[in-house]
Structure 1
Amino acid sequence: MKAKSPKDSLVINTDQVMINDLNNYNTLFGGVLMKKLDNNATLSARRHARVKECVTASTDSIDFLHPIHQTDSVCVESFVSYTGKKSMEIFCKVIAEDMITGERRMAATAFLTFVALDENKKPIQVPDVVPETEEEKFLYQSGEERAKTRHIRREHSRELTKIIGLEKPWEKEEENYVENISQLG
């Protein structure tokens, strides 16, 4: 399998901020931006792996650096920055541009992890990535450390799921209520 450059998976999407995308602070809802990041990252993953289907394994981090206003455009750039055997780390950067003044600022950065699937929905091996630019090299060199952190976090989540309850909180309250009533009577 031939290694690929991050530019082979580069996806750039620019959009305007609509009034229904704003929160009560008149800035872009974080969830709206998260959807844009996931959409872009999915395309980068599919472009890198050249498969029909890639799934989000984790949203590793999103750092909101500056608010995005209705007068801004939102440009999301994403590309594969690091790969494991069957996983791809996608780096996303969000650039907000004030459409009146032309001022551009880094509004957010994010790392998401994707897995490519075959026609039977089984994970498959993905091509390696070979960084070229200074930015790509920095992201690639720090990628192994982020992969280790993801592995530790995933193990912690597996342990946590063994001890957290699946009960419906309202049913638990009902049981406590019935128990308290029976103790009174």
Structure 2
Amino acid sequence: MSTAKTAKESFSVMTNLVLPSETNNLGNMFGGELLASMDRISSISAKMHGGSFLVVTASVNHVAFNIPIPMGSTVKLESKVTRAFNSSMEVYVDVFVYDYENSCYNQTNTGIYTFVAVDKENKPVKVPELIPETEQEIERYEGALRRKQLSLVLSGRMKPEDATELKSLFIK
């Protein structure tokens, strides 16, 4: 296994058509349908980065349902690992809807997932380090440690005084 990978090595794309069975009574895609698609594509990115078929969703850290996605829409999901820790990986998902009038994709939603690579006995295994390259990758990489620490503090698995990245936002 390589000791480091770039974010583009975990880049995944999925395109889908929103069907009537996937919509609510307002004619928009169910949030749960979108979450399932986001979980699927982010697991692919985690598998690609981790170099293992075995990854499990540890948490859905954030999902923003910014713009409803109407029935019949062409939806594109893009995901990539934004940071790798010991055995866990943060995966960012961006959701776009195709605008046929203007021939372009417009971003509608985002999500941040955490996956853990495991062996056949479901024990965590080490994953390669991630090397961010683009400005957006660097920004998301740097924010990942703050998001992880916040999650650990909120779940009671880290003391607030030990969350150095979070404290650095407030104390100079």
TM bucket by the smaller chain? 0.7 to 0.9
Q: Report the counterpart of residue 163 of structure 1 in structure 2.
A: none
Among all aligned residue pairs of Structure 1 and Structure 2, give the percentage whose two residues are the same amino acid. 31
Alpha-carbon distance, 1:60 to partner: 0.3
> For 1:33-88, what per-residue CA distance to the aligned partner results, in whole angstroms no more than 9, with x for missing partners?
00000000111111101112100000001001111112321100001001111100
Give the helix-richer structure, 1 or 2: 1
In the aligned structure 2, how far is the partner of 1:102 from the partner of 1:146? 35
Q: Are 1:130 and 2:125 matched, yes or no?
A: no
In the aligned structure 2, how far is the partner of 1:17 from the partner of 1:35? 13
SS in 1 for 2:156: helix
Alpha-carbon distance, 1:98 to partner: 2.9
On the 8 A contact 2:83/2:130 being kept in 1, the answer is: yes
Whichever of the two has the greater Rg, that structure is: 1
In the aligned structure 2, how far is the partner of 1:74 from the partner of 1:94? 7
Q: Report the counterpart of residue 64 of structure 1 in structure 2.
A: 65
On the 8 A contact 1:71/1:100 being kept in 2, the answer is: no
**1:6-155 mapped onto 2 (5 Å cutoff):** 6-155=7-156
Alpha-carbon distance, 1:116 to partner: 0.2
In the aligned structure 2, how far is the partner of 1:153 from the partner of 1:97? 37
On the 8 A contact 1:93/1:110 being kept in 2, the answer is: yes
Alpha-carbon distance, 1:101 to partner: 4.6
On the 8 A contact 2:19/2:72 being kept in 1, the answer is: no
On the 8 A contact 1:64/1:108 being kept in 2, the answer is: yes
SS in 2 for 1:129: strand
On the 8 A contact 2:14/2:78 being kept in 1, the answer is: yes
In the aligned structure 2, how far is the partner of 1:3 from the partner of 1:103? 34
Alpha-carbon distance, 1:119 to partner: 2.0
SS in 1 for 2:131: coil
> For 1:129-181, what per-residue CA distance to the aligned partner results, in whole angstroms no more than 9, with x for missing partners?
1011111111001111011011112227xxxxxxxxxxxxxxxxxxxxxxxxx
- Report the RMSD for the aligned CA atoms in angstroms: 1.4
SS in 1 for 2:68: coil
Q: Report the counterpart of residue 164 of structure 1 in structure 2.
A: none
SS in 2 for 1:51: coil
In the aligned structure 1, how far is the partner of 2:152 from the partner of 2:65? 24
Alpha-carbon distance, 1:4 to partner: 0.5
In the aligned structure 2, how far is the partner of 1:51 from the partner of 1:10? 15
In the aligned structure 2, how far is the partner of 1:122 from the partner of 1:116? 8
Unaligned runs of 5+ in 2: 158-172
In the aligned structure 2, how far is the partner of 1:42 from the partner of 1:141? 21
